[in-house]
Amino acid sequence: MDLTKKRFKEEFSQTFENMYAFDIKNSTAIQQYTALGNYLRFSYSDDWNKTNKKYLNEQVKQVYYFSIEFLPGRMLKSNLLNLGILDTVRDGLVDLGLDFEEIVKSEVDPGLGNGGLGRLASCFMDSIASLGLPGNGNGIRYRYGLFQQKFVDGYQVELPDNWLRNGNVWEVRKENKAVTVRFGGQVGLVEAANGHLKPTYFNTQNILAVPYDTGMVGYQNDVINNLRLWSAEIPPEEEIHYHTIAEREQVNQITEVLYPDDSNHEGQTLRLRQEYFFTSAGIQSVIQYYKQTGLSWQNFPDKIAIHINDTHPSLAIPELMRVLLDEEDLSWEQAWEITKKTMSYTNHTVLQEAMEKWPIDMVKKLLPRIYQVIEEINRRHIEKKLSLYGSDLTYRTAIIADGYVKMAHLAIVGSHSVNGVAKLHTEILMHDVLNDFYQMYPAKFNNKTNGITQRRWLHLANEELTKLIDSKIGTDWKTNPAELKLFKAFIADQETLDKLGTIKLVNKEKFAAYTKNEMGIEINPEALFDVQIKRLHAYKRQLLNVLHIIDRYLKIKEDPTLAIQPRVFIFGAKAAPSYSYAKQIIKLINALAELINNDQEVDDKLKIVFVENYGVSLAELIIPAAEVSEQISLAGKEASGTSNMKLMLNGALTIATLDGANVEIRDFVGEDNLFLFGLNDQEVQILNKNGSYHPREIYETNPRLKQVLNTLIDGTIPDIEMEGRVIFDSLVYHNDEYFLLKDFDSYIQAQEEIDLLYQNKTKWNQKSLMNIASSGPFSADFTIQRYAEEIWKIDSQLIDVHQKLFLTEPI
Ligand SMILES: *Cc1c(COP(=O)(O)O)cnc(C)c1O
């Protein structure tokens, strides 16, 4: 976007006065932010309109990315960067006497996702627009985002996240595009004009789905795609039927809150309502769009791809069937062909507790017609496969079985592509978790390793590192991240290595200022910063990290004169409110922090910082300051992970199990440049299969580990009587489901290697540089390029030559 500083200052001041009718000098940062956001939205509205019109007029194929979560982070700076006016606007605001960073901070970080899955959806939105691909998001406009986390006496307390308090400058309400979503009632067959019996719905509860659209700004390419989030309202013509507050509340409830569960299936009716609400609204709006093209239904899959991000939107399959059958009068065969060709599905987890299944009675009652369609999909599926695969295998793939509707089965049968999110994860899907389906549909299965947008996670979060890279290898890496590997040429350049160290130190000082001001904890910026930031979950093994910290603490207490590398252990994690074991681990970490941070003998050899309310904005502060990236999930459990990629991109060295995308990180960065430990996936499988794991034996025979574990129950750590006992028992007596005791020794050993390496700053910085330079392949731009070419079959609308560079495979 062309904008001079002079014009910006004039236009922005004018916008401010038009909005507020007073002088900008007397305004608050929130008002300045609001005016600036509106100004930006006005400035890109023309390109937004043009992008939409181009897609429609040229009838290009588009993808619709259906996701129950989007976790975009603050959008002011990323929009400025992508519009190409970040520096102009920043300078202009300084001229006007305004504080840019204050303005940035006054934007609320929208918490419309739990963690990795929602963040992936937002990284994808950025890459789709930046590659000039015709693509749109479809999701829910939650009135309240993920809870705000506070610690009270070390316990997690959840507060509501009223993120819309000051409005939302980026969204545009489009009541003219509203659709009706129907729940409940009965289905009957009524004779239509052509004599056919037509399914007709009676006594349904009708909800108005109103879209709020947000522009997804591409990186300096004039493309503005659309993220459409739906809000539930009472249809104006039905106001009369809603007499009580309770009745009205029931409607608002649908889009009121985001379920705070990560990797855990929440089986409540309201969740099923949410899932149908946004998929039905999304399908209806795609259909309305498609009708404008005037093309025949047979061409639908040539113009539309619909992607199902995990199983939450998989009702898109029977919903598209319903519309084609009941409203457009297609035959079952025609509708099924179209649906399968249109839909594709990403699996995000192998955890059994995360697999969505809905009681038949619940689906029948809430979605009677959809249930009929699913029944027929299932009937035909079984009928077709029985003779080919026999009854055992075939019935294991049933969509309806054991009293439940199995959403993953529906998603696989109803789509043409099923992908995992890292090589190892896809292997596990094909050969283990989804092997029955893999035998039936080998060609559907494929891998698309997750990625992250380097624009947010390097360019914006770490401007100093960006400048250094620009000065060494030029700026083409921003549109072709494969070029980051050119940075490897500076592996022996002492000046570059020292500069890397200085930049890291400055970022650590910034974080230290935060912990001092916001938490009252003073940390030494010269200490090693060790970071584990992700949802709190047993399989991610924050507890293993804790055991290592306790081991260190005991070492220092045993010999207070010990010359040990000072470390700051940084945690950021929310626990699902109903996940008591995870909350007990939070309490443990906070109690340990209380003990260690206040122990004079420990001094600054050891500190624990557990930030409250971890989210995208805190990630942007912590990641540039990180030196060690903790990716220590039990092998075989983490589908991909993406914080591993963000941390690597910012020069942290990874300590990892061979899990998820860690395997590919190892392949690209080389075994010498990260620290591997622990069981691999095969070894875990064997231990699980033959039941030969006995943690109690390890406890009894490993004196050091015994000492460490005993601190949980012997009063060493204050105020955790109950939690310490539960956690201790889970490890020693209740079979240590995630093999912490088994991996303890090799984890400690890897940590010692880290300390040793850290003593040699040059060698450390060399490995840091290798990590940065090897992270190009994990750009979401590549991930999205593969989705676009191999699954969605959509084309970039850019003619700019530099975009062709994307076609180079990262090596
Ligand atoms: C990237 C990200 C995640 C995902 O972290 P994992 O370690 O991959 O689980 C979760 N939350 C936020 C805020 C993130 O930015």
- Domains in the chain and their CATH numbers? 1-58+75-108 (no CATH), 59-74+109-447 (3.40.50.2000), 454-778 (3.40.50.2000)
CA of 116 to the centre of ligand 1 (A): 4
In a 3-state reduction of DSSP, which class is residue 160? strand
pLDDT for 285: 98
Q: What is the mean pLDDT of residues 433-459?
A: 98
Copy the structure tokens of residue 379: 């009937």
| Atom 4 of ligand 1, nearest CA residue | 116
Distance, CA of 488 to chain centre: 29
Contact 424, 397 (CB under 8 A): no
pLDDT at 497 over 60: yes
Residues in the chain: 811
| 632 within ligand 1 shell (Cβ under 6 A) | no
- DSSP secondary structure string for all residues of 219-277: TTSS-EEEEEEEEEE--GGGGGG--SHHHHHHHHHTTTB----SSS----HHHHHHHHH
Chain mean pLDDT for the chain: 96
Q: Which two tokens stand for residue 131?
A: 């590659």
Joined tokens for residue 365: 């009652």
Phi, psi angles (nearest 5°) of residue 614? -60, 135
CA of residue 638 to ligand 1 center, whole Å: 12
| Residue 673 pLDDT exceeds 70 | yes
Query: Is 80 exceeded by the pLDDT of residue 736?
Result: yes
Burial class (CB in 10 A: 0-12, 13-18, 19+), 269: middle
SS3 of residue 22 by DSSP: coil
Distance CA 116, CA 313 (A): 17
pLDDT band at residue 194, thresholds of 50, 70 and 90? confident
* Single-letter amino acid, residue 416: H
Q: Kindly state the percentage of the chain with pLDDT values over 90.
A: 96
CA 435 vs CA 320, 384, 389, 430, 439: distances in Å: 27, 18, 13, 5, 6
Q: Which of 273, 307, 535, 574 is catalytic?
A: 535
Atom of ligand 1 nearest to the CA of 616: 13
Residue type, position 522, single letter: E
307 in active site: no
187 forms beta bridges with: 201
| Cα 282 from Cα 274, distance rounded (Å) | 12
Q: Give 802's pLDDT tier (boundaries 50, 70, 90).
A: very low
pLDDT per residue as tens digits for the range 162-185 = 999 999 999 999 999 999 999 999
For residues 448-461, average pLDDT: 98
* Residue carrying structure tokens 């399908």: 283
Q: Whose alpha carbon is nearest atom 12 of ligand 1? A: 115
Q: What is the pLDDT of residue 811?
A: 43
Ranges assigned E (strand) in 458-573: 528-533, 567-572
- Residue range 538-547: average pLDDT? 98
Cα maximum dimension of the chain: 92
Query: Which residue from 791, 766, 268 is spatially nearest to 496, judged by alpha carbons?
Result: 766
- Which tens digit of pLDDT belongs to each residue from 298-326? 999 999 999 999 999 999 999 999 999 99
- Protein residue closest via CA to atom 10 of ligand 1: 115
Phi, psi of 563 (to 5 degrees): -90, 95
Can you give the pLDDT at residue 805?
46
- CA 120, CA 97: separation in Å to the nearest integer? 37
Per-residue pLDDT of 338-387, as tens digits, reads 999 999 999 999 999 999 999 999 999 999 999 999 999 999 999 999 99
Among protein residues, the one with the nearest Cα to ligand 1's atom 1 is 643
Tokens 């999110």 — which residue?
421
What pLDDT shows up at residue 181?
Answer: 98
**Residue 790 three-state SS:** helix
Kindly report the pTM of this predicted structure. 0.98
Check the CA dihedral 537-539-541-544 and report its sign.
positive
Is 425 annotated in the active site? no
Residue 114 Cα to ligand 1 midpoint, Å, equals 9
Please report the pLDDT score of residue 800 as a whole number.
62
Model confidence at 111, in pLDDT bands (50, 70, 90)?
A: very high
CB 135 within 8 A of CB 223: no
pLDDT number for residue 801: 41
* pLDDT interval class at 807 (50, 70, 90): very low
- CA angle at residue 643 from 640 to 644, to 5 degrees? 70
Residue 57 in this model has a pLDDT that exceeds 50: yes
> What's the rounded mean pLDDT across residues 472-485?
95
**pLDDT band with cut points at 50, 70 and 90 for residue 710:** very high
Could you give the CA distance from residue 675 to residue 656 in angstroms, rounded to a whole number?
A: 6
Side-chain half-sphere of 582: how many Cα atoms within 13 Å? 22
Q: In whole angstroms, give the CA distance from residue 365 to residue 185.
A: 8
